[in-house]
């Protein structure tokens, strides 16, 4: 279906003049926000409706907060971005007075670079050797390692070690309390004979950007951009029963933490558990290419 351009020829483009701003402000004060196309026409602005809407929402609206993004706001943006991805409008709803455009610009000019710089310094060389004495507990021939090759999570839990100790109902079973001064490890999952440290960035502001999971000497993949990959491939070609259990535990713990974070951020369930980037991490786990 072909679309006619929203802006007819002959309309003004580019930066808004003070006079245009004043006309738009006065018109909306008097008539309120209605159909943007008709606002442009009735107000006598030679602008397309979209341009009027953008100007009002991003600049002229009286509840816009001016000034620098505070440290608290920055922290919230980072947390929300790790949870929601580039859903700027959704993120902006959680920062009163800030617009999606402003947050997007702030991310692109400040936070994205920080994040990228940090990620580029991450070690990617991983242990390649299999530990002595590591044996499969049970063979599951229908699920070979080369097909049971990844657990993919869209998002990571946003938790501090202190919070883990306080909140995890599974603490005694799968989460090991951490040193108070450590942000390197979010939690450890006990696979029975192997501990799996779930590692995040050492700086709190990067928590949630990427997660690094190692399963002792066996799990040998640490990588991620927007997503993280937990590779649970065993070198012996079989899936260990305790590994399968580990997948379930990771799924449980991630889902638990995401729910808690979503609750903390007062996100509606459809904002984090629906389609898209806000989806619960357990829905992104795959075994053999199939949602686990």
Q: Which stretch binds DNA (CB under 7 A): 5-13, 151-159, 178-186, 211-219?
A: 5-13
Distance of closest approach, residue 255 Cβ to DNA, in angstroms: 23
Distance of closest approach, residue 75 Cβ to DNA, in angstroms: 18
Query: Based on CB atoms, which residue is closest to DNA, 13 or 121?
Result: 13
Interface map 79-118 toward DNA (x if CB under 7 A): -------xxxxx---------xxx-xxx-xxx--------
Number of residues lying near DNA (CB under 7 A): 38
Q: Which stretch binds DNA (CB under 7 A): 9-17, 120-128, 181-189, 241-249?
A: 9-17
Query: Based on CB atoms, which residue is closest to DNA, 40 or 196?
Result: 40
Task: Specify the long-range contacts of residues 94-103, CB closer than 8 Å, at least 24 apart.
Answer: 94/265, 94/266, 96/63, 96/65, 97/63, 97/64, 97/65, 98/65, 98/69, 98/73, 99/57, 99/58, 99/64, 101/54, 101/58, 102/58, 103/77
Q: Are 200 and 208 in contact (CB under 8 A)?
A: yes
Site for DNA in 13-32 (CB under 7 A): 13-16
Q: Are 111 and 73 in contact (CB under 8 A)?
A: no
Which residues would be at the binding site for DNA (CB under 7 A)?
A: 1-7, 12-16, 34-37, 49-51, 53-55, 58-59, 86-90, 100-102, 104-106, 108-110
């Amino acid at each position: 279906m072909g679309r006619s351009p929203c802006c007819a020829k002959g309309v003004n483009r580019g930066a808004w003049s003070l006079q245009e701003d004043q006309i738009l402000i006065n018109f909306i004060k008097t008539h309120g926000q209605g159909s943007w196309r008709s606002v442009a026409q009735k107000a006598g602005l030679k602008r397309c409706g979209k341009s009027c809407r953008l100007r009002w929402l991003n600049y002229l609206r009286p509840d816009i907060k001016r000034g620098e993004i505070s440290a608290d706001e920055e922290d919230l943006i980072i947390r929300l971005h790790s949870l929601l991805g580039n859903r700027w409008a959704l993120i902006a709803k959680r920062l009163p007075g800030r617009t999606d455009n402003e947050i997007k610009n702030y991310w692109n000019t400040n936070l994205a670079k920080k994040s990228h710089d940090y990620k580029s310094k991450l070690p990617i060389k991983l242990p390649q050797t299999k530990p002595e004495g590591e044996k499969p507990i049970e063979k599951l021939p229908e699920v070979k390692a080369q097909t049971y090759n990844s657990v993919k999570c869209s998002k990571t839990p946003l938790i501090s070690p202190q919070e883990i100790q306080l909140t995890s109902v599974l603490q005694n079973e799968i989460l090991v309390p951490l040193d108070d001064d450590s942000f390197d490890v979010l939690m450890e999952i006990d696979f029975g004979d192997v501990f799996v440290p779930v590692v995040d960035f050492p700086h709190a502001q990067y928590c949630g950007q990427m997660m690094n999971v190692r399963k002792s000497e066996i799990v040998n993949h640490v990588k991620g951009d927007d997503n993280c990959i937990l590779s649970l491939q065993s070198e012996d070609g079989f899936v260990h029963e305790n590994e399968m259990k580990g997948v379930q535990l990771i799924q449980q713990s991630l889902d638990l933490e995401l729910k808690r974070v979503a609750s903390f951020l007062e996100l509606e369930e459809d904002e984090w558990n629906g389609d898209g980037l806000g989806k619960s991490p357990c829905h992104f786990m795959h075994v053999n290419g199939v949602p686990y």
